[in-house]
Amino acid sequence: MHRLPAEWEPQSAVQLTFPHADSDWADLLEVVLPCFVEIAVTIARFQKVLIVCQNEATTKALFGIELSNNMIFVEAASNDTWARDHGGITIEERTGRWIIQDFMFNGWGLKYPADKDNLITRHLYDKGVFDTGIEHAGLVLEGGGIESDGQGTLLTTAACLLSPNRNPHLSKSQIEERLEKKFGLKQILWLNHGYLAGDDTDSHIDTLARLCSPEIIAYVKCDDPNDEHFVELSKMEVELKSLRQLNGQPYQLVPLPWPDACFSEDGHRLPATYANFLIINGAVLVPTYGVKQDAEALEILKPVFPDREIIGINCRTLIEQHGSLHCVTMQYPMGALGMIKQAII
């Protein structure tokens, strides 16, 4: 029996894949790199950071005096920076041994080039980064499309997992069967409603609703009837209220504030969401956007994670490329990294 751990379980490290001049960040490189550095430096206060980069020396230079022994740098070619979706997904075997599942990443349903990103996990394994086995998972799947409680429940969205450009040869029941076997699942909870304008992942669950514990789901709630999201997110809220834990009890639902709309220079709406937070050892990193709802979002999450520090990081630049804080990270459970003792200086 396999088990897909929850994000709040102890971690070895968090992966970041840094932007470079040949990625989609080329025109915004000078403004986005400080955001990546801030995320890495903040994580390094609590645990290791695995930084995948084009050039180790150049990337280290970005950190200056904030360079930390908790940072591990590995060079690898990449198309882009969304580690949540091209990173390996770790499962636990019955023996307690970790296995990296190397799912196929096809650029969110063939929307963008992903040939280099799809090879990163295997490259890291070949470099000895992981103290695990590795399996080719035989399925197109992104980490941002699934949420696990570590006890056999998976939360996901139909728009993403049933996208015709991901696994068109498989029916819903066949996808469920494969996920149940791969992750040792007892139930899969599907959301059929909810989206964010500007999102190009086909409604990844980590932009909409997040498992915070086996009993708690935090979710985005639109309270403006004039907003284009109001109807769909209201329907999603009804769906969430109908979901049940494995013990038959409803979830404790925690609505997150609806941020003021953010727009790109060309006028299209960007997918700002407070649900895209990252849980790490001792802290929760929450994306903020320079809007008045930022402080409220941080306060709401404090009682949800009473034993962790709640830290806001301005991710306004990240949403210019239609993702946020959780999207650029991937955590690995405690004991999964083989390079964990490697020093960088």
Tell me: the pLDDT tens digits for 41-89?
999 999 999 999 999 999 999 999 999 999 999 999 999 999 999 999 9
The CA dihedral of 176, 181, 183, 185, to the nearest 10 degrees, is 60
The answer as to whether 23 is a domain residue is yes
**Enclosing domain of residue 243:** 11-333
Q: What angle do CA 310, 239, 235 make, to 5 degrees?
A: 95
For residue 228, CA distances in Å to 157, 231, 289 come to: 19, 7, 20
Domain count for the chain, please give it: 1
The answer as to whether 71 is a domain residue is yes
Q: What is the pLDDT of residue 338?
A: 82
The answer as to whether 3 is a domain residue is no
- At 137, the pLDDT band (50, 70, 90 cuts) reads confident
Q: What is the pLDDT of residue 342?
A: 45
Average pLDDT over residues 270-290: 98
pLDDT tops 60 at residue 344: no
Query: Which long-range contacts does 90-97 make (Cβ < 8 Å, 24+ apart)?
Result: 90/5, 90/132, 90/332, 90/333, 90/336, 91/2, 91/3, 91/4, 91/5, 91/182, 91/183, 91/184, 92/2, 92/3, 92/4, 92/5, 92/333, 93/2, 94/1, 94/2, 97/132, 97/133
Average pLDDT over residues 285-295: 98
Average pLDDT, the chain: 96
> Are 344 and 51 within 8 A, CB to CB?
no
Neighbours of 87 (CB within 10 A): 30
- At 341, the pLDDT band (50, 70, 90 cuts) reads very low
The Cα 25–Cα 22 span in angstroms is: 8
Average pLDDT over residues 259-270: 96
The answer as to whether 338 is a domain residue is no
pTM (2 d.p.): 0.96
Query: Residue 256 belongs to a domain with what CATH number?
Result: 3.75.10.10
The answer as to whether 341 is a domain residue is no
User: Each residue of 192-228: pLDDT tens digit?
Assistant: 999 999 999 999 999 999 999 999 999 999 999 999 9
Please say if 53 is a catalytic residue.
Answer: no
User: Each residue of 103-113: pLDDT tens digit?
Assistant: 999 999 999 99
For residue 343, CA distances in Å to 42, 49, 123, 340 come to: 18, 12, 20, 9
pLDDT tops 90 at residue 318: yes
Choose, from 35, 212, 222, 327, the residue flagged as catalytic: 327
